[in-house]
Structure 1
Amino acid sequence: MKVYISADMEGVTGLVGADDVQMGGRDYERGRVMMTEDVNAAVRGAVAAGAREVVVNDTHSAMRNLLVEDLHPAASLVRGKPKPMGMLQDLDSSFDAAVFVGYHARAGALGVLSHSFMGHEIEDMWLDDDHAMGEIGFAHSTATALGVPVVALSGCDVACAELTEWEGDGGYVRTVPVKYARDRFAARLRPAEEARRAIEEAVREGVREAPSRTRPAPDTTEHTLTVRWQSASVAQQLEGIPGVTCSGGDAGKDPAHDRSVRVSGDLPALFRLFGVFMGVAYALTGQAPYC
């Protein structure tokens, strides 16, 4: 079996503040250790379930966070940026299962370090106009569109609930709350060793069951992505990309504020194009996350 692990940082065991997850922060180096340990727990679970290949994608910020020398030797690592597919780089239909480690809730949710990709610059996102989403929803939808089931996620309790909602009735994804949000920068923490045992167990059971479950059917249909930006300038510049249109705020329901953009395509193509959106937005705003 082949297992894919996408690893973010905000949802890692013990981390609650910007200084824990931002390069140069006073606790960032400690955060890297915690992130590596959570990922190693997931790798151990995948290997115990019979995975013959495990690919880990470091997806946070500059995507150079995991301690290479301390990573589990069974895993290969996708490191650095830019990556055309960002948080899902190197994921394809040959994988039997996908795992999300250290993920966080979307912008507007009262989860630990919640945001959607770019701190405060992205106010909200929708898939097909009616389903608000952040990184969890977009990554889950794209992975399943490729025919790869998401079998486990670790993060705060709000992030776990978000994935369960996306999975819907009949889903079998296992979620591991490693902390319980008390506010955006505060949480009750689960003991680290207990949290990592839970990650390992959830991944082991999720990967073990994957071959006996019905895989999601590859989705090549057209979907619509809408992104509402904090800055109308970003929306205006993105409208220069063929196929991208300004829709007004709130998924087209507030035409007085033209700072939302819409574009349609299949999900992998939308996921890749969204990476271009972020490149444009970073160039225009230069805003640090969590402001």
Structure 2
Amino acid sequence: MRIYISADMEGITGLVDADDVQPGGRDYERGRLMMAEDVNAAVRGAVAVGACDIIVNDAHGPMRNLLPETVDPRARLLRGKPKQMGMVEGLTAEHDAMICVGYHARAGTLGVLSHSFMGHEIEDMWLDGRPVGEIGLAQATAAAFGVPVVVLTGDDTACAEISAWDDSVTTVAVKYAHDRFTAQVRPADETRRAIEEAVSARLSAPINPPATPPTSSTLAVRWQSASVAATLLGIPGVTTKDSRTVQAQGQLPALYRQFCVWMRVATSLTNQPPYC
């Protein structure tokens, strides 16, 4: 059994603030160890039911949050950037299932550290006219590979978001959002046990392939900066809906890869912290 784990940080056990998840933050070093523990719980759960090939993609920010020595050695760690496919780098049709650890809700929702990919630089996103964030785009891209997302961990808002995209996904709420930087957090031992048990139980059950994705999708992104939108028009196939919203059509996962290029363009034009 080949398992792919995409690990974000905002939805990790106990973390609620930018200082917990940004390099240089006063609690970042503790946060990255908390991240490793949630990831390791998922790895243990997968190994317990026979997974023999597990890859963990460090998918948060600089993508160098997980220290190799803190990750269960039965998994292979993919860290650093650039990554052409960002949060789903390394995912292929050969994987049997995808697990999302530490994910968060999309921009505009009242979830812990909620945003979509680039803090407040991305105001809104839509996939085929439906509001989307990191969760929905990851699920849709995995489906395009023919790989089902089977488990997601994060706050209760993130769990509700994936359930709206695919109600077959098992969710583990590690905290309950009270506001964007406030949550009722569950004890760490409790959440790690819950993650391990959820992964084992879900991978022990029959895993059905995801629904067949559409042959073509439209991704639209509304940026805070009109400059970003104007610059992206230099990419063939990108059109505008208004002065700050661009869109493109194509097949996933290629459309996801193009979106990663959009983000690199936006990064070159802006220099804004993620959680202002």
Q: Partner of 2:19: helix, strand, or coil?
A: helix
Alignment of 1:142-291 (within 5 A): 142-167=141-166, 171-209=167-205, 212-217=206-211, 219=213, 221-248=215-242, 258-291=243-276
Asked whether the 8 Å contact 2:93–2:147 carries over to 1, the reply is: yes
Q: Partner of 2:201: helix, strand, or coil?
A: helix
Asked whether the 8 Å contact 2:140–2:213 carries over to 1, the reply is: no
What is the distance in 1 between the residues matched to 2:70 and 2:47?
Answer: 17
Give aligned pairs, total: 276
What is the distance in 2 between the residues matched to 1:172 and 1:5?
Answer: 17
What is the distance in 1 between the residues matched to 2:139 and 2:268?
Answer: 27
Q: Which runs of 5+ in 1 are unaligned?
A: 249-257
| Amino acid across the alignment from 1:8 | D
Q: Which runs of 5+ in 2 are unaligned?
A: none
Alignment of 1:36-47 (within 5 A): 36-47=36-47
CA shift in 2, pair 1:220/1:94, >3 Å: farther
What is the distance in 2 between the residues matched to 1:275 and 1:238?
Answer: 12
What is the distance in 2 between the residues matched to 1:24 and 1:160?
Answer: 28
Identical residues among aligned pairs (%): 64
| Amino acid across the alignment from 2:157 | V
- Deviation per CA, 1:112-157: give whole Å up to 9, x if none: 000000000000000112x101000000110011100100000000
User: More displaced, 22-31 or 197-206?
Assistant: 197-206
| Amino acid across the alignment from 1:100 | C
Q: Which stretches of structure 1, 4 residues or more, deviate above 3 A after TM superposition?
A: 217-220
TM-score by length of 1: 0.93
TM-score by length of 2: 0.98
| Amino acid across the alignment from 1:275 | C
Which residue pairs with 1:65 in the alignment?
65
1:213 Cα deviation from its structure 2 partner = 3.2
1:46 Cα deviation from its structure 2 partner = 0.6
1:218 Cα deviation from its structure 2 partner = 5.1
1:214 Cα deviation from its structure 2 partner = 2.4
User: More displaced, 215-224 or 270-279?
Assistant: 215-224
RMSD: 0.9
What is the distance in 1 between the residues matched to 2:7 and 2:164?
Answer: 20
| Amino acid across the alignment from 2:241 | S
1:49 Cα deviation from its structure 2 partner = 1.6
Which residue pairs with 1:84 in the alignment?
84
1:217 Cα deviation from its structure 2 partner = 5.0
What is the distance in 2 between the residues matched to 1:273 and 1:149?
Answer: 22
Asked whether the 8 Å contact 1:146–1:219 carries over to 2, the reply is: no
Which residue pairs with 1:5 in the alignment?
5
